[in-house]
Amino acid sequence: MQRLSKYLTPLVHILFWLASYSTTIIFVPVLFFQNPAAWITTIMAFYLNAYWLFPKYLGQAKSWFTFSLLFLMVIIGVAILEYTLDYLFELSPVYTGDRPRDLFESLILICGITFFKALVVLPLSFLFQFIKDLIVWKKVSVFAEISLHILLIGMLYTLSMMNRPYWSPESEPSLFAFKAGYKLLILIINLSFFYLNAFWFIPNLLRRGKYAFFLLALMLLFVIAILLEFGIYNLPPFSPDQSSALINSIWGGLVIKLVILMGSFLYRFSKDWFSHEDLRKRLESEKLSAELELLKFQIHPHFLFPGNAGGQPQNR
């Protein structure tokens, strides 16, 4: 059985990557997603993360800063490797066929490759660790929750990059880099409603009965978000028409922020409920164990007084 398991694990890994690549070729007819260099470097980053960084830096010590720094170095390294392979074998998106890319365009492409590489590798690695813990140790780890957060944030950022204004990385690299930067700031502003409320406002204000401070903090957050977005949309790279359209979208974006805020309430209360349920079950289990031990002592009192097993007083 152990010998079969030894060969089964790599077989499952190979079948997973082959199925993923075949599905992409069939359903996503885009050269960027069919690039073999992208898949090879992604698989390299995944196994470096899953079998080196995770066990060494996210074990008992949980060195999150060291892990993040080394993971960033790994992702940048494989992104540069992918860019090099694309350049040597004239693959998309590096090879354009009409002109060589300058240094600035190359840096933008490497940054883009790095981002998408992290977006794929991080959730996959955390999910892999979660499944591994579930199968090997029979426990539900926090890695599944982390992978879900990373995946959702990456998807939101990718969707926001598809919104107007449309600046192409090939023809307008500087404007595209500016868009990537300000879209990241907008995403941070929107996510602040979720994470500040879920991890700071609710535990420190709402749960302690500071309702006035809680409402004031939320109102202040909305005001700061509006002012920051208003300032971003008035920056020089935007034309007057673009600025006007983006400023008008701020008020519609308030609805999205309210939805994110409601999601943070649901997330925090669900998280607390599951934590309380887990604590209640552990306390019940400990109480049951204590009652069983007490019952044993009542049935066999000589466990407590081994020298007086017969119940007769001892002669001194």
Average pLDDT of the residues of the chain: 83
Q: Assign residue 305 a region: left if phi > 0, alpha if psi is -120 to 50, beta otherwise?
A: beta
pLDDT of residue 58: 79
Longest Cα–Cα distance in the chain: 108
pLDDT of residue 89: 84
Residue 1 reports pLDDT greater than 50: no
d(CA 105, CA 25) in angstroms, rounded, equals: 27
Q: What is the DSSP letter of 310?
A: T
**What does the CA dihedral 116, 67, 84, 40 come to, rounded to 10 degrees?**
-70
- Mean pLDDT over residues 216-229, rounded? 95
More confident residue, 92 or 108: 108
pLDDT of residue 26: 85
d(CA 247, CA 241) in angstroms, rounded, equals: 10
d(CA 311, CA 22) in angstroms, rounded, equals: 78
Which residues have a Cβ under 8 Å from the Cβ of 203 and sit 6 or more positions away?
Answer: 268
**What does the CA dihedral 185, 191, 193, 199 come to, rounded to 10 degrees?**
-130
Confidence category of residue 136, pLDDT binned at 50, 70, 90:
confident
Residue 189 reports pLDDT greater than 90: yes
CA 298 to chain CA centroid, nearest Å: 53
d(CA 162, CA 150) in angstroms, rounded, equals: 19
- Indicate the burial class of 290 (C-beta count within 10 angstroms; 0-12, 13-18, 19 or more): exposed
Q: Which of 196, 217, 211 is nearest to 267 (CA)?
A: 196
Instruction: Report residue 148 as tokens.
Output: 């879900």
Confidence category of residue 302, pLDDT binned at 50, 70, 90:
low
- Mean pLDDT over residues 26-51, rounded? 86
**Cα–Cα separations (whole angstroms), residue 104 to 5, 89, 110, 235:** 49, 21, 10, 22
- Percent of the chain as helix, strand, coil, to the nearest 5: 80, 0, 20
Cβ atoms < 10 Å from Cβ of 99:
8
CB 190 within 8 A of CB 228: no
pLDDT digits (tens, 9 = 90+) for 226-263: 999 999 999 999 999 999 999 999 988 899 999 999 99
pLDDT digits (tens, 9 = 90+) for 253-290: 899 999 999 999 998 988 888 778 777 878 888 888 88
pLDDT of residue 125: 86
Q: What is the DSSP letter of 308?
A: G
**Cα–Cα separations (whole angstroms), residue 167 to 100, 154, 186, 279:** 20, 20, 17, 52
pLDDT of residue 139: 65
Could you identify the residue written with the tokens 């019952």?
295
pLDDT of residue 316: 43
Could you identify the residue written with the tokens 């049951």?
288
CA 55 to chain CA centroid, nearest Å: 18
Confidence category of residue 100, pLDDT binned at 50, 70, 90:
low
pLDDT of residue 119: 82
Residue 202 reports pLDDT greater than 90: yes
pLDDT of residue 151: 76
d(CA 205, CA 197) in angstroms, rounded, equals: 10
Give the rounded percent of residues in the chain with a pLDDT score beyond 90: 35
Total H helices, total E strands in the chain: 9, 0
More confident residue, 163 or 255: 255
pLDDT digits (tens, 9 = 90+) for 150-160: 878 888 888 88
More confident residue, 141 or 18: 18
Instruction: Report residue 44 as tokens.
Output: 């390299």
Residue 145 reports pLDDT greater than 80: no
